[in-house]
Amino acid sequence: MTLAEMILAAHCGKERVSPGDFVEVNVDMVLSNDITGPIAIREFNKIGVSRVFDPKKVVMVPDHFTPNKDIASAEQAKMVREFCLQQGCHYYEVGRVGIEHVLLHEEGLVAPGEVIIGADSHTCTYGALGAFATGMGSTDIASAMATGHIWMKVPDTIRFNYVGEPRRWVGGKDFILHAIGDIGVDGALYAAMEFGGGAIDHLSLEGRFTMANIAIEAGAKAGLFYADEKTVNYEKERTQRPFTANKQKTDAEYTRVVTYDVSNLEPQVAFPHLPSNTRPVSQAGNIKIDQAVIGSCTNGRIEDLRIAATIFKGRNVASTVRCIVIPGSQSVYMQALKEGLVEIFIEAGCAFSTPTCGPCLGGHMGILAAGERAIATTNRNFVGRMGSPKSEVYLSNPAVAAASAISGNIISPEDLQ
């Protein structure tokens, strides 16, 4: 079996499952946030049960519109807060909260071999740990909170092998954008994207989180990596509970196998208005930007901030550009403080924020006006994603975003003078 099949089989009491099978799966963690949580709570209350199946396996993270931007968002957060206090679920208040898909694995709430579902499409992030993680609708989440299980169709698996030695400034964001540019936004529709190969073996966990996070942008049900020594060591530092680090089977059957040699891969830029509209940064042309956003559940980890700080050190954001840097969690924020990264950002003319999803979904703290362009380390660039439907969002890795903020145009870090 593939990694997805092994995990799902273990969670439905079967020796083997195959693509197309409908299975009832026990879940290890159920996630929602300040946008999707209230919907799930309202549906949960209609079911007729008084308690969630296991409060230790339910977490709600108010990260999208927090700190609350208006009365409506305050009411949303209040509803989630009160439900969690009453049920005893995991809850993280402002000042301790982070972006959900950075926070959960930092806190040891998810682990290899587990099944994690969330009312957020980028729940697939935890596949970086060797878990089966996927996004679902809020009504499915309500049902799971009540019962502890879900039903699903076992997905096909497409294997992506990355080989070669990547160039400087090329990382996980570029690996996955290149793949989506190749197969399209529906190229892995309802499939599990399984990542491996020599280049993946040397990729940091931060890079793997980035890749798994964006699997949904190819239409995937999940994006998964086998848990190696890096993964196991990372997890053992964060949780005491047992977990399963599945090993790859040589006879696994894949729907398709795709191989990329990343030796000559440039940093990638996804042009409006699809993550698949990618091209190498050297072919970006003369694109003037008004805003740069470095952060989000895709690239808001400490490695991402270190890369950006390397570019910003001793330089200044262009006078015509707003640059917003958002750490993914309070832990990342503190580490950035200790390492002097925050000082570098502020001296360069960046705005440094408390952890929040903020501008990624057009929420707050960085909304675009009509005609404005932003380069962002986020995961989506659909029409109106970051504000006005007449604005444009370009996706890149942190190095390209930082270099572009300094230049005022989209450029490669190698082109900075």
Q: What is the pLDDT of residue 352?
A: 96
One domain for residues 216 and 307: no
| Residue 369 burial (10 A CB sphere; 0-12, 13-18, 19+) | exposed
Task: Find out whether 193 and 220 touch, Cβ atoms under 8 Å.
Answer: yes
Which residues have a Cβ under 8 Å from the Cβ of 60 and sit 6 or more positions away?
31, 32, 33, 34, 37, 80, 83, 84, 89, 90, 91
DSSP 207-269: HHHHHHHHGGGGT-SEEEE---HHHHHHHHTT--S----PPPPTT---SEEEEEE-TTPPPEE
Mean pLDDT of 7-30: 96
Mean pLDDT of 56-80: 94
One domain for residues 282 and 241: no
For residue 318, pLDDT beyond 90: yes
Cis? peptide before 273, omega within 30° of 0:
yes
One domain for residues 343 and 398: yes
State the Cα–Cα distance between residues 169 and 359, nearest whole angstrom: 24
Categorize the per-residue pLDDT at 387 as very low, low, confident or very high, splitting at 50, 70 and 90.
Answer: very high
Distance of CA 104 to the CA centre of its chain: 11
One domain for residues 113 and 187: yes
Q: How many domains does the chain have?
A: 2
Mean pLDDT of 147-163: 97
Q: What is the pLDDT of residue 167?
A: 94
Indicate the residue among 203, 227, 260 that finishes a domain.
Answer: 260
For residue 39, pLDDT beyond 90: yes
Mean pLDDT of 219-243: 94
One domain for residues 93 and 241: yes
**For the chain, what is the mean pLDDT?**
95
Q: What is the pLDDT of residue 301?
A: 97
Mean pLDDT of 285-297: 96
Q: Label the pairing between strands 373-376 and 256-261.
A: unpaired
For residue 417, pLDDT beyond 80: no
pTM of the predicted model, to two decimals? 0.94
One domain for residues 280 and 387: yes
Mean pLDDT of 387-416: 96
Which residues have a Cβ under 8 Å from the Cβ of 314 and sit 6 or more positions away?
none
Can you give the residue range of the structural domain that contains 131? 3-260
For residue 8, pLDDT beyond 90: yes
Q: What is the pLDDT of residue 279?
A: 96
CA dihedral 175, 298, 38, 69 (to 10 degrees): -140
For residue 28, pLDDT beyond 80: yes
CATH of the domain at 346: 3.30.499.10
One domain for residues 230 and 175: yes
Q: What is the pLDDT of residue 250?
A: 87
State the Cα–Cα distance between residues 146 and 261, nearest whole angstrom: 46
One domain for residues 393 and 246: no
